[in-house]
Each structure stands twice: as structure tokens, then as C-alpha cells.
Structure 1
Amino acid sequence: MTAEPSAVDDSAADASAGGPSADNAGTVSRLIRAWFVEHGRDLPWRRDGFGAWGILVSEIMLQQTPVARVIPRLEQWLERWPTPEALAAAAPGDAVRAWERLGYPRRALNLHAAATAITHNHGGMVPEDVPSLLALPGIGEYTARAVAAFAYGHRHPVVDTNVRRVIARVVLGQGEAGPPSTRRDLAAMEELLPADPTDAQSTNAATMELGAIVCTARKPLCQECPVRDLCQWRADGYPVYEGKRPAPQKRFEGSDRQVRGLILAELRASDVPVTPEEIVQVWPDSAQRERALDGLLRDGLVVLSGADYELP
């Protein structure tokens, strides 16, 4: 349960290798599920009774943010806003302020907007079907399917970057998954899912976990992998990935993202609107500072209060 994957042109991505045989796919699924029972981490959103709202919040927080940083913020968030109605009743700026340093604070506004839509359109209950979830603000394919599968037990393939890496290695014999494709990736995971919804839900979670802690991007722990004897990448001698690599993540230090974060931190720390003179003190490069501030205004993360600035 990690970053929301982005899609690429599926027409160029469907020329991938075929999937595993039915028998082999069933064996891979069973072995990964058995491993997960013994080695899966005890995470809040995996516990019985956690609830659809908590799972939705956790999935949005986990996008591009490590688990260790999410857990304490998630607990605080759900204690303050235990239901969608509670969050919808708060100001959007309260959500941004409570987001603090989780990164990508636009997610806080999206979550507030989703809570408002759930309250007004669904009687305060998180919807359970994928089309209704996709209609919520800020909810993409991954999050919609994750909520439907993990909160409600529906049989859907759920694909994040960890799942894509496991499939690339075990099934396709590739060291890296390459650029994502929603249609191709969902079809590949579909082939590993058992017919039983409970087993399918467990297979989704187990494959994510395997990619997160064993079949990692760097230094995979192949000797600890439950499907090492079925892994095509291992059988082929761990060939180097030769396809188009995903673009590397841009550095944070000195980036517009850092400047945006500093401006938001200044606004979070103040109970009154922040003056332009105070904003100037946040970052010395005026062009970059203004660019970051303009972006925050466009995204609705900052609003004008006269000539000053504040959270929405």
C-alpha cells in the first residue's frame, strides 16, 4: 500500500510477456499467502475492525510516504476525525495543518474533499464499489481498488509499485517493472488472484508485503523469498533490466517542493494571516519563492486574506 501508480499509454505497453500458467500462479499465490501469515507486519490498517474510513485515510497517507511516518499521524488523525462527517465539518485548512510533514499536502485537501463528498452523497459511509470510490475527489485506481478489497473484501487486483516489482521478477524475469500501465498491471495481478475473495484479498496484501520487505528495489533478500524456486528472474540469472527506466525522483533539497513546504510550515505555525514580509524571510531566492507561492495558491493550499496569506 504505497504510492498511487501513474498510468502510461497502454497501447504501447501491452506487448509484455505472457503470464504464468494457472497451476504455477496458484502455487505462487499460496506460497506468498503462507509466508505472509508468518512474516507480515502488524500494521494498524490490517487489524480486524479498522474500518473503511481508516483504510481510506491510511491509503492516501501511504502514497509516497514511508509506513513509519504514517502510523503516528494516522492515529492522531483518526482520533481527531474518526468519521468522514467529522473531517467534513472542519475547515480545509485544519486538514492541511494536521497533515504537518507527511509531504504532498495536496493529499490533505483531497481527503477533506472526499470526506465532504462521502458525507453529502453517501450518508457518511465510505462507498464500497470501485466506480463510486473513483468518483470521490482525489481517488485514483489504486486507492479505489485497495479500499474495495481491503475494507470490504471484494475481489479486485490491487497493484502498487511493490506488487509490480514482484510480478516483474517472479513472472516476467525482469529486474525492474519499468513504466506502469494500469491495464497491463491489473491484468498481471488478476492472473495471480485466487477465485475466493478472502484468499484474493490476502494475496493482494501478501504480494505488497513481499515487495516491501523482501523483494525490494535494492538488495532483495532472495534467500528469504517464499517463491524463490519459482522466480523467473532468479532462474534466468538475475538479468539487468534493459527496458526504459522510470524517471528518478527529483532531489528535495533546494527544490520548489522544499520551498512550498517551508511556506506551509510558516502558515501552520501562525494563528493569524502571514504577511508578505514574513513570507520573504522563508526563502532567499525571490523567483523560486514566488513560483512556489503561486503554485500553493493555485492548488488551494494557501488563500489570500487581504494582502496576507493563510491556510484555507
Structure 2
Amino acid sequence: MKIMNPVIEQRADPHIYLHTDGYYYFTASVPEYDRIELRRSRELAELSTTNEIITAWTKPETGPCSDLIWAPEIHYINNHWYIYFAAAPNREIKDAAFQHRMYVIGNESENPLEGEWRFLGQVDSGINAFCLDATTFTHDNKLYYVWAQKHPDIRGNSSLYIAQMKSPTELLSEPVLLSKPEFDWETRGFWVNEGPSVLKRNGRIFISYSASATDENYCMGLLYADQNADLLNPENWHKNPEPVFQTSWEKRIFGPGHNSFTQTKDGKQDLLVYHARNYTEIEGDPLWDPNRHTCIQTLSWSEEGFPVFGSPQTQLSIE
């Protein structure tokens, strides 16, 4: 089966989750940054045309989460659905623009397109500063939270942190710094580490992330730790000194990043989900250009057990 990229147009920061019910659940930033959209389909290729689509949550007119709704992610934890997202106060308030914090909504229905999505509040990291792009994963019966946040003592817009969670809405441990912008490819335009996504394979915990400005310089890096290591000890995490996924000028796929991982239904093939543009001529701030499109491609593995991202492709082939 072949799937052509982009799979879904004008959907940035894509997150696809394959649930035990056989559905692929999809959410992403919408160009208006005003709501959280959720859709599902039996097949990846049908995510762009499915009629199973809802608005799970719409921003209020005022308050701390009334503007710039970014990068929602859907997770299934302890038999409940959660969507984590970043939001800021209304830009009309002085000095409020881009003061994002992380929030979460929840749904107790078996089908998250039904029932009620309830606002559960802020996920407080303990650092009172700009933060975004949270994800969660479970390992050794412990729930972990990984996110991007600005720190007053670290140069740049955001670095990556990890903490253990007490519940899906509350942290148990203090934030631990995993990675900060330091290499040339992480500091083009902006000093950024953001958009973490977790993949557990071959005895290791992998965290991919995105770096630099959201134009053609946007690219992806990789962290990894042994699955038996203390994940809250930063010395146990290793950082690839080179980007693992970046712009393909040949294919005209620019600024690939802010990825998530999913797989084929038989579990035999890991898939990389990301957004990218097909041009570089962006007028003004790239953030307001709506044409970051959702793309999917296969992820392969080296003999040493590391993910091989390759280069962006125009189509996905699944056997």
C-alpha cells in the first residue's frame, strides 16, 4: 500500500496514536490555533478524508489558556484519554503573548470522539516560564513526562526536561534537564530543543526532538538511554551530535520535524510522523504560515539497534 505525502495538509505538530481498538487517532495544531481537533480512521490513508472528526475543546475568550493553542497530543493512560497541549493568555493583554504553559483535558469514554472532554487544568512543571510540547510514556510501571521549557539560566527559547508523574495531571519529581541547544544545527534562527517524542526499542529509550527555527532550518535530534538506567539521572542520557532528520532540498521537503511515532497494525513496521513545508519563500514569521503539512514514512533500524530516519520522502510504502 502506498500513501502519498503530505497525508494531511495544514496540520502541524502531528500526533498519531494507534489504539487497541484498531483505530488511528490523530490530533495536531490547526492554523487558527484556537481549538483542539481530534479525528480517527481505520487506515492511515483515510485520516485526511474521515468523517469521524470532532472539536474536543475550544479556547475560552479570556484567561491563561485563551490563545495560541499548540501541539496537542492524545494519550491513553489508566483506561482514560488525555490530551496535553500548550496555551497562552490572550495576546491583547500586555506582555502576555507567547507566555505558554502546559494544560490537559480528559475523557472517560471508551471512544474519545464521544462523551465529554473536561478541562483538567495546568500541568505545573515547577518552573514558572514558557513551556510547551509535553509528551508522556510509561516504563517499569512508572509514568514519565517529557517537555520543552525555557529556563532563565539557559540560553535559548527552550530545553528538554523529564520528570516522573504522580498522576496524568501532576508531577511527582523535580524537573531534570535532558538537553539544551548547543550544536550549530540546534541554534539556527532560534536556540531551540522542543517537540520530544518517545520510542522504546531494542533495550533503549529513545527521545527524538526538534531544533532551530521553524523554517527550512528545522530539523530533528536524538537522545537515548539504556532501558535499565535511572531515567531521571541526566548522566544516563546520550545525545547524538548530528541531526537525524533534516530538510531534503532534492525532494523539496523543508523543515521536517515535531514528530511522533506510530506503527502498522501488525506491529512489524515503525512509522515516523512529522510536519514539513514544500517551499521556503515564507512571508513574515514562519509561525503564521499555515502550510506545515502532516507526513508519514517508514522508520528502519540499524544492526546496532538504533533508529534510521533517512531523509524525507514523498510517499510511504507499506507491505
Q: With structure 2 as the length reference, what TM-score do the two structures score? A: 0.28
- Structure with higher helix content: 1
User: Greater strand share, 1 or 2?
Assistant: 2
**Bigger relative CO (Cα 8 Å, ≥ 6 apart):** 1
Greater Rg, structure 1 or structure 2?
1
TM-score normalised according to structure 1 size: 0.28
